[in-house]
Amino acid sequence: MFACGDSSGDAGDDEVGESQGSETQDGGSSGDADAGSSSGESGTNDGSTDAGTDTSTDTETSTDTETSTDTETSTDTETSTDTETSTDTGTETDTGTETDTETDTESETSDCLPDEIICDGLDDDCNGLIDDVDVGNDGFCDCYRIGIIGTVGANPASNFEAWLEEKGTTADRFGTAVDHQLTEADLADFDILIVDRLTHQYPPEQQAILQTWIESGHGLISMAGYTNNATDRAQQNSLVSFTGLTYETPIYINPTEDWQVHPITENATSVQVYGGWRVAGVGEVFVRPAGEPNNSLGTTTEIGDGVVVVFSDEWISFDSEWDAIPEVETFWSNMVNWVGPEELCFDPQ
């Protein structure tokens, strides 16, 4: 605004003043040429000169006025006052949000329980662990929901099932009918599935249901050796072969075991295999037949987010073994904790 007002005002006024002056001077010259009195010429010249002088003076005055007006433009520095950034003390008000967070944290802390006492899928004692309930202080998570598919073996196994219930877990047996069809609903309420003696061979589409369930973060423990014929292997493999681990010949009768260093075998190397198939496939071998470094009697592997244990024999579920070999209980505890879902009893981070 300042530059625009000055140039138009000055230039316009200067041109008007100069043209008027020259016109007046021309008038004066014509007065000289006339034969009239000299006093008339003099009067004419004085009048024209005054008129020209007055006009230029007025122009300067108007210019000055515009200049002062332009000074008002500088007053527009009030725009800088609009830098109300400093007034953004609203940022300080955000501190109030932090105060709210602190209040929320205090509220959450006050909701924490002294101990984790129920299996509800929550971190009740706010220690970063979900359902880390261990009433017996035996290192065994009491909140696993365990399903057992198939019938029991040839010998009683009441101690095994009673032990699972005693640990605080739910242990439900299903799939005992010869025409059982495995469905997603069968597995929906379990964290771990134990494959006991299957009654028949399951079709591939039902094995796929189990595979999807395992891959989503669940655990599987499989046993075999219920008989020494091919039917036994075929039935057990019909559910577990998706793991890449299968039961194959030969069958080992009372072998000498070579227990490997592994969390599954910790404090449990007295467990025995009385009649079990060779476990074929790639994984972490935790027990071998002595002197056979390329064969396995027990292997574990990960499938997606889930963990699988394939063990050659079923005698570990019999009461006779539970009574005679105390480490059988430790062995089961190790296996259950090994395959148990990580979001239970462990830091979810």
- Cβ neighbour number for residue 57 with a 10 Å cutoff: 11
Report pLDDT for 221: 98
How far is residue 295 from each of residues 220, 257, 292, 331, measured CA to CA in Å? 21, 11, 6, 20
How does residue 171 score in pLDDT terms, banded at 50, 70 and 90?
confident
Residues 6+ apart with CB under 8 A from 182: 149, 175, 202, 206, 209, 210, 239
Residues 6+ apart with CB under 8 A from 167: 136, 140, 142
DSSP string, 207-256: HHHHHHHHHTT-EEEE---SSSSHHHHHHHHHHHGGGT-EEEEEEEESPP
Residues 6+ apart with CB under 8 A from 213: 184, 187, 193, 306
> pLDDT by residue (tens digit) across 145-155?
899 999 999 88
Average pLDDT over residues 330-347: 82
Q: For residues 292 and 303, what is the distance between their CA atoms, to the nearest angstrom?
A: 26
Q: For residues 6 and 70, what is the distance between their CA atoms, to the nearest angstrom?
A: 8
Higher-confidence residue of 170 and 214: namely: 214
DSSP tag of 141: -
Average model confidence (pLDDT) for the chain? 74
Higher-confidence residue of 147 and 116: namely: 147
pLDDT value at 93 more than 70: no
Average pLDDT over residues 48-63: 38
Average pLDDT over residues 262-280: 97
Report pLDDT for 320: 86
How does residue 9 score in pLDDT terms, banded at 50, 70 and 90?
very low
**Range name among 3-7, 116-120, 187-191 with the lowest pLDDT average:** 3-7
Amino acid identity of residue 134, one-letter, is: D
**Range name among 111-125, 271-285, 312-326 with the lowest pLDDT average:** 111-125
